Amino acid sequence: MSARQSLLISLSSALLLLSLLACQPIAIDNQAQLLRQTFTSEYDQTQRQYFVYLPKGYHQSDTLWPVMLFLHGNGERGDGQAELDFVLSHGPLYEAWIQKRELPFVIIAPQLPMFDFDKQGLGYIDNRRLEDVPVRLKQGTVTRAAYCQSTQSMLRHSTITTMQDIEPLPPKGWETIENDLLSILNATTEQFKTDPEHIYLTGLSYGGFGTWYLASQHPKLFTAIAPVVAWGHPDMMSPIAKQDIPLWVFAGGRDSTINIEYFYPGLNTLEALGHSQVRFTVHEELEHDAWKRVYASEDLYRWFLSHKKTQH
């Protein structure tokens, strides 16, 4: 065989190999992803970031995924840049990313600005460290934190008859960046494969108050909501009742931070206004961190997925 014939055979083989490779589908990572998305805050024109979690299998089909907007508590505030990882400490993002649970949601997790809460002598902010934020391990998962201990009795009764003198929201909460939240939610639903029939809202503590507020201001936006360890003021209930948004509220029976008696006036107002889907769960033996059990359980996620907008 001549050198010229050998060269032609080699070139033909190479072309055949390239054509076969071109016919092969491009492999896309099937694992869950945690993305940092950048935006400019309407509140103060600073550049900030928020997390978007994409579930396992997101890239494997054209399936539209449910969306969950999660609002963290007071202790996870930060600059939306170097301090964003504090948002991983609790809630559904902790469950999905740190504990590697296959939650079938596109999860959006922004960060509330500090608003000088780091100058108020709050130990849970002053003493926090980024190196203590749980991380996603290559093998296995981190050990879950223990529940807070309480010596309070589980026996209780409510004596609250009016909330007229009670402020509906704690200071400098999620309502201050309402427009940012709407922009982030809109950007995510446009950029990613999301299902407009399944948009859920939940938050813990300060984020629970934010959940009540955002749902009261935009009742048609959300399929179902779940405020955790945060009561809703009666003044907010009319729009929520009118839309009849499916609602699951959680409290800790021994909560020493949030007065459990404050939950009842708002919930009773909802029922008086004709809301048909009020659900209230009290974890009697738990403290303020009852959110650990709520988000660690499958119940809330299954309940979310059982609702779609056309049902209400």
Q: Which two tokens stand for residue 195?
A: 């299902």
**Residue listed under structure tokens 């092969």:** 24
Alpha-carbon separation of residue 77 from 3, 149, 256 (angstroms): 71, 24, 21
Q: Is residue 12 part of a domain?
A: no
Contact indicator for 175, 210 with CB cutoff of 8 Å: yes
Q: Is residue 44 part of a domain?
A: yes
Q: Is residue 13 part of a domain?
A: no
Q: Is residue 159 part of a domain?
A: yes
Number of domains in the chain: 1
- CA distance linking residue 111 with residue 77, whole number of Å: 6
CATH number at residue 57: 3.40.50.1820
Q: Is residue 10 part of a domain?
A: no
Residue 18 confidence (pLDDT): 43
- CA distance linking residue 76 with residue 84, whole number of Å: 8
Q: Is residue 58 part of a domain?
A: yes
Residue 125 confidence (pLDDT): 86
Q: Is residue 207 part of a domain?
A: yes
Q: Is residue 14 part of a domain?
A: no
Residue 148 confidence (pLDDT): 86
Structural domain boundaries enclosing 154:
33-136+147-311
Per-residue pLDDT of the chain (312 residues; tens, 9 = 90+): 555 555 444 445 444 444 434 444 334 568 999 999 999 999 999 999 999 999 999 999 899 999 999 999 999 999 999 999 999 999 999 999 999 999 999 999 999 998 877 778 888 888 999 998 999 999 999 999 898 887 766 556 677 878 888 999 999 999 999 999 999 999 999 999 999 999 999 999 999 999 999 999 999 999 999 999 999 999 999 999 999 999 999 999 999 999 999 999 999 999 999 998 999 999 999 999 999 999 999 999 999 999 998 766
Residue 19 confidence (pLDDT): 47
Angle (CA) 248-230-155 rounded to 5° is 90
